[in-house]
Structure formats: C-alpha cells, structure tokens
Amino acid sequence: MSSPQLEMRWNMKTGLKKCITALTLAILLTAGLMPGTKKTCSAATAPISGTSSVSGITDDFARGVDISALTALEKSGTEFHYLDGSNGDMFDILSGAGVNYVRIRIWNNPYDSSAPYKPYGAGNCDLYNAKILGKRATDAGMKVFIDFHYSDFWADPEKQFAPKAWADYSLAYKKDAVYNFTYDSLKELLDYGVNIGMVQIGNETNGSMCGVGGLYDGVWDLSSGVAALMQQGCYAVNDINALYGKSMLKVLHFTDLVERGEWYAECVDTLGVDYDVFSTSYYPMWHGTASDLTQKLTNIARNYNKKVMVAETAYPYTYENFDSQNNNIGDASGMVHANYAVSVSGQAEALHDVFAAVAKVNETKAGYGIGAFYWEPGWIATDSSTWGTCGSGWATSVTGNYEKLYSGSVTYYSTVDGGSTWDNMTLFDKNGNAMKSLYVFNDICGKSSITSSGIFNDGSMDGTYYIKSAYSGLYLDVADGSSADNANLQQNTYLGSSRQKFKLTKNDASYYYIFTGASGYSKALDIAGKKTTDGTNVVQYSYNGGQNQMFEIAPVSPGIYAIKTRITNSASCLDVFDWSQEPGGNIVQWNYWGGDCQHWILEAAY
C-alpha cells in the first residue's frame, strides 16, 4: 500500500471515529448514561462460551447451579476467580455469568453420632449451611431452590437411608417427621431472609425415600409409603406458602428419565401427590440425547399438566484427575454416550443443549419448561488435609458408621476421608478460574457477561492470558505461530494454542511486558521502530526492556481493558485496524479514543 493510500485510510478512520464519538455522546445523553448516572457493566457482544442463544428463554427461566459444597471449599482455602483471573466472590462471579438460581441440598444431621461428632463432608450440608449460602445467593439477586434429601447423607437410587434420629420410626412417625422437618426448616430459612422459589421433596426418589419403598420392601411404584411421605412434604410447603403469602413451587425429583420418567409421573399422578414440578437428573454422558430429554419432558408436561425441569446436569471438560480421589468419570469407559467432546467447548455445548431441550418443551406447552441446574460447578480439588477437617471431599471416614446402622458393611459411603470425585466436571479450572463454559448461562439469552472484578492478588495482573477483542470477539495472535523477530500481531479465531497465549509481567514502573507464547515467552510485544505515530505496527521482538515493549493495562469497565503503550506515555493503545472483524485483521498502535476496537478482554490461560 502506498503512503497516499495509507494516509487516506487514516484520515477516513479518524473522521469516522469523530462521527461515531459524537453519535455515541448523543445516544448516551438521550439514554441518561453519562457519568454520574446508572449503567450496566457489559462484556463482549460475541458469546464467550462459543454457544448460540436459545429462543424462548425468558428472564424467569431458571439458569441455575447447585453450590451446596461451597462453604466447605472456602473453609479449605479455595479461592474463585473471574475469567481473567481477577479475584471475586463466587456469587458475584456466578451472577455476572448469568446464573439466576441456586440449588442447596439439606441433610438432617450430617455428623457422626459419637464425640467429637466429625462431619460427614461433601459440604456438611445441614440447615445452617443452607441458611448461609441461601442468604448469600439472595443478596446476589438470585432465587433459591431447597433440596431436602430426608437423610443424613447422600440419597439417590442406590440408597435412601432414613436420618439417624428416625431409624426406628414407623411410616406414620416418618410422615409427621417429614412434615415437621420441612415446615420448620423452611420457616427458619425464610425468617433468615432467604428468597426461596422452589422446594424439592426428596432426592432422586426412584421408588424409595427415607428408608421406605423399593430398596427396602420391593415395592417400586411409590404406593408402600413413598408417595405418602412426598405428600407430607408438599403439605408443609403449602402451609408455609399460606403463612408467608408465598408461592414456592413443590418439586419431585427422579432420574433415569428416558427409561422410567413417564412411569414415575404416572405413579405420583395415580397416587394423587399434589406437586407442581416434575424434575429429573439428566447427565448427557449417561442419560441420552437432548432430543430424548425434550420428548420425555414434553410428554410429562402435556399428559400430567406439570411443569418440568432438569434439577441436575454436568459434563466433563477433561479426563485428568486433580487429586488422589478417583473421579466419577476417569476415562472414556465411564461415558455411556459421547455426543460431545470432552473439552471446555464440549462441556459448553452439552450445557447449552440441556437448556435448549428444556426450553423446547414450551413450544408444545408454553411456560412448562422452567429451567435447568448445573450440579456443583465449583467442586474443584482441595488439599487432602482439608477433606476430613473441612468436609471438602465427597465423604469423610465416619460416614461408614451411618451406613452400618442399616447395613452390615460399608458399600456406599466411606471409612476414609475422600476428595472430590467431580473435579473434572466443574465450570472452574483446577486453580479456581472460571472457564468459558460458565458463560453459557448468559450466552443462551444473548446477554453480555461480567468477566472481571479488576482486582488481582497484590494488585498485579501477572499471569498468562488469551487476549480477546471486545469488538470482534477474535483473539490476539502471532501470525503463523512464528517465533521470529518482527512476526506480525493480528487477530484470529480462537485456537487455544501457544500462539495466542501471552504472559504479562509487571515491572518496577508498574508497566507490563507482554511475552509471547509463540516464542516460548522469550520475546515480547513491541511497537515497531519505537515509533509514536498512529498506525505503527505491533510485532513480536526479542525482549530488550525498552519503553516500546512496555504497556499499561488500563481497566475500562469490569473485564474490559485498554492496552496502552508506554512509548506514547499511554496516549495510544493497541487497536484493531480499520475495525476489522475478520481473522487476520491487523493490530496497530493508535491514539486512544475509547472505541470497542481498542478494548480487550483477558482470559486466564494455563
């Protein structure tokens, strides 16, 4: 390109920027969004997770997570971070990603019966834990979904042990106990300020609950007492609703939807259980396709006039194990179905499709597909010393004592302190950093996310990142992955390779050197020729510590940064030339004027 042509493009660009700036100012004035007025934080318009929006997702559609183990994880020293590695409270991170509902399990008494009354672990999920987490969720603007197991520890299709205190109860006594525990717990939660929207009566109650039903008497159709216990829980919710003037939904929970879901819906209908929502556990690697999910839930909604949802889902992003505890899925042999890649992008796609499958129910029966919940997205591995002391693993050594009340051996619980069996199915990486899959919750709605708090340990952003244009959604990239001096910096589609990884290192003057993964982090971003003029190319060059290799990482809004150049005393910044939205678009130095083509999102990379 000749100099006159280049000068003409620069003049056009400068003129257009002035026009856009004036237009933006007018819009802001009209909307009342000038400094001093309220505005919302936003991130990239492009979906962070790489998934598309889903039609028919309304604001009240539950985009939820189960975070029951969070208190124990935090006591173990676990910290959680936004996508760029900045510090944040878990509820702020989740809310910024689009989560609007939190599910919390309650066990009656998850502690050993003998001194020193060691907790059972897996979050030590008693009523007090639910109050603390429920209030934090409420304060973050979320609704709460309470999950009563009516057990002192895990209840699922393999075991449904009654609480220790109810071990010798007859069915009549258990009915009273279920009612009273449900009523008293909900009252205490509401009085504490927890905004409860739904209440689950039993957990994965496929024929059994609270020591009653198929596992214990061979009667699987709920008629030997399970339905009666469910009804007592529903009565308690009804009475609390009347007392507080609320409309909490009553939820029943089953699993194995494809094989047994419709039969259990028929059973509770035949037995006259008065509930509102049929929910299911639905894990894509075990339970089938998204179309299976839609079909079965639609049939239940249509035939029994019940709202439907997924109470639990998850998908692995790796087969790697991050502690000494075996995971639920350790390799491909654990995958009954493999419709998605075992990767962060595969995890995002699987979650997206679960939401879409539930929303599709509304095409047949409007308003009846009400949401889905991702199970324990933050249950990453912790130090083994915390498994027993803090309850951050799946079970502690005393849980076997509880099982022995009902069995001669320990089959389902443990006699040793265990770790996380879930650390490869979380939405946070092993270091507690949010992964792209977390942002499906907003991406399905086409909403922008908050990806940063702007607060880093020791005030430093030192670390390795992918750097994404807030304008194009494309990533900073060393052309051809070259390790040579003067290799060009461009934008490109996400590749996840070293050519798109950049290591920020802060110097004593509080500027950053940006080392390139393409060079093995031996070379740095460089303003070519130490020029200060607009349009100067940005290249990779051997590290020399010069001012043309120093950058200010200037926060613009949460998760959004301008990368300003020291050589211009921060007057200029990295700029996507000509507002390109195409792979290969050039990166240049340009006078900072605040356009999106000058703004960047940092995503932690490991």
The number of residues in the chain equals 606
491 in Cβ contact with 472 (< 8 Å): yes
| pLDDT digits 0-9 by tens, 109-157 | 999 999 999 999 999 999 999 999 999 999 999 999 999 999 999 999 9
- Which candidate, 445, 439, 450, 538, places its Cα nearest to that of 491? 538
Cis peptide bond upstream of 116, omega within 30: yes
- Which candidate, 347, 254, 348, places its Cα nearest to that of 296? 254
Residue owning tokens 């249509």:
302
Q: Can you give the C-alpha Rg of the chain in angstroms? A: 27
Q: Which of 396, 418, 443 is a domain's end point?
A: 443
CATH of the domain at 474: 2.80.10.50
Tokens of 125: 């999920």
| pLDDT digits 0-9 by tens, 491-514 | 999 998 999 999 999 998 889 999
For residue 481, what are the domain limits? 457-604
Q: Determine, yes or no, domain membership for 519.
A: yes
| Same domain as 270, residue 124 | yes
- Tell me the C-alpha distance between 185 and 163, whole Å: 15
Q: Which of 443, 466, 500 is a domain's end point?
A: 443
**DSSP secondary structure, 450-469, as one string:** ----S--GGG---EEEEEEE
Q: Determine, yes or no, domain membership for 503.
A: yes
| Same domain as 431, residue 466 | no
> C-alpha 342: how far from its chain's center?
17
Higher pLDDT, 168 or 24: 168
CB under 8 Å to 333, separation ≥6 — which residues? none
Q: Is 535 left (phi over 0), alpha (psi -120 to 50) or beta?
A: left
In the DSSP assignment, the letter for residue 164 is G
**DSSP secondary structure, 183-201, as one string:** HHHHHHHHHTT--EEEEEE
List, in sequence order, the alpha helices (H) in 245-361: 262-270, 284-287, 290-304, 344-360
| Same domain as 85, residue 124 | yes
125 in Cβ contact with 147 (< 8 Å): no
Report helix, strand or coil for 14.
Answer: helix
| Same domain as 287, residue 167 | yes
536 in Cβ contact with 588 (< 8 Å): yes
Average pLDDT across the chain, whole number: 91
106-109, long-range: CB within 8 Å, 24+ apart, which pairs? 106/130, 106/146, 106/147, 106/148, 106/149, 106/185, 107/149, 107/151, 107/152, 107/153, 107/163, 108/149, 108/150, 108/151, 108/152, 108/163, 108/164, 108/165, 108/166, 108/181, 109/152, 109/163, 109/164, 109/165
469 in Cβ contact with 91 (< 8 Å): no
pTM, whole model, 2 decimals?
0.81
Residue owning tokens 């209030």:
135
Residue 605 has pLDDT above 90, yes or no: no
What pLDDT does 585 receive?
97
| Same domain as 407, residue 353 | yes
Q: Determine, yes or no, domain membership for 282.
A: yes
| Same domain as 485, residue 426 | no
Q: Determine, yes or no, domain membership for 35.
A: no
| Same domain as 206, residue 92 | yes
| pLDDT digits 0-9 by tens, 18-50 | 343 333 333 333 333 333 332 222 333 589 999
What pLDDT does 46 receive?
81
Tokens of 96: 């910024």
What pLDDT does 522 receive?
95
- Please state, as a whole number, how many other Cβ atoms lie within 10 Å of the Cβ of residue 74: 16
| Same domain as 432, residue 497 | no
Q: Determine, yes or no, domain membership for 47.
A: no
| Same domain as 511, residue 439 | no
Over residues 432-449, the mean pLDDT reads: 96
Show which residues are catalytic.
Answer: 204, 312
Strand-pairing partners, residue 253, are 279
What pLDDT does 458 receive?
66
Higher pLDDT, 89 or 556: 89
Q: Determine, yes or no, domain membership for 31.
A: no
In the DSSP assignment, the letter for residue 60 is T
| Same domain as 301, residue 233 | yes
CB under 8 Å to 247, separation ≥6 — which residues? 241
**Structural domain count of the chain:** 2
| Same domain as 554, residue 425 | no
